[in-house]
Amino acid sequence: MTEELEKGTLGEETLLEVKELNVYYGLIRAIKDVSFKVRKGEIVTLIGANGAGKTTTMQSITGLLHPKSGHIFYKGKELVGMPTHKIVKMGLTLVPEGRRVFAELTVYENLQMGGFTEKDRNKLKENLEMVYELFPRLGERRKQLAGALSGGEQQMLAIGRAMMCQPELLLLDEPVNGLDFQSTEFLYQLMGSYQQYGTLLFSSHILESICLTSDRVLVLEQGRISR
Ligand code: ATP
């Protein structure tokens, strides 16, 4: 084991540790003995083809799926068996694939909902300003219904909503999937400089995303980490 890895195992730097994880859909074993770590301040890409198990991994980390065996430690605490709302309160938020915004609510209302774990009104206001600064389009469209936004803007809203509770670890599942060139470039830029906001784990099936954004890459092939 390298010195760097040992530091990750024993030191405080490891934020997330997935250990020998196995997840099934009925008899189908979708995730096979998956182990990896994410250290504080890192930008890590989980790359894999369609069906490799990216979404299953992300949903297991956030308590939406229940592994058959294995462990998921966040800051040393076991997440397996913990309900999603508690996991969110611990500082870990997932933006799921497919930009699920509340279409009938305005941009502002969507963002307010993202800050539900933050009780301090001043902090909420600060976070809202931070999101509007990061995504000026959302500021311009704050009174519009989310359903009327473009695909790229909806993805920005979904990410902005997740950032409203200032997660220490943000998980993005296929954030640039199906987006136009401009929105993709914008999001790559944001993800590439995400260290200033926290730690980022995002999944992708696009190789380009690695060069533009990540500190480290995990390759998922048919439910296994191959590299
Ligand atoms: P994509 O990029 O296409 O979303 P992915 O890498 O996120 O792919 P998963 O969605 O995690 O992959 O799927 C992993 C495996 O589990 C695939 O073989 C898939 O067919 C299977 N799978 C996913 N969801 C279910 C389900 N609800 N029931 C049965 N099998 C499923």
pLDDT (tens digit, 9 = 90+) per residue, 145-182?
999 999 999 999 999 999 998 999 999 999 988 888 88
E strands within the chain? Answer: 14-25, 28-39, 43-47, 69-74, 77-78, 92-95, 169-172, 199-204, 216-221, 224-225
pLDDT score at 12: 54
pLDDT score at 179: 87
Nearest CA to ligand 1 atom 30: 25
pLDDT score at 74: 96
For residue range 104-132, list pLDDT tens digits in order.
Answer: 999 999 999 988 777 788 989 999 999 99
pLDDT score at 159: 95
Residue to substitute in 27, 45, 55, 57 for testing ligand 1 pocket (most ligand atoms within 8 angstroms of CB)? 55
Tell me the torsion sign for CA atoms 127, 175, 219, 83.
Answer: positive
The residue ranges of the chain whose pLDDT is under 70 are 1-12, 209, 211
Ligand 1: does its nearest atom lie under 6 Å from the Cβ of 48? yes
Nearest CA to ligand 1 atom 11: 53
Structure tokens at 119: 């009780």
pLDDT score at 109: 96
Query: CA angle, 29 as apex, 25 and 30 as ends, to 5°?
Result: 80
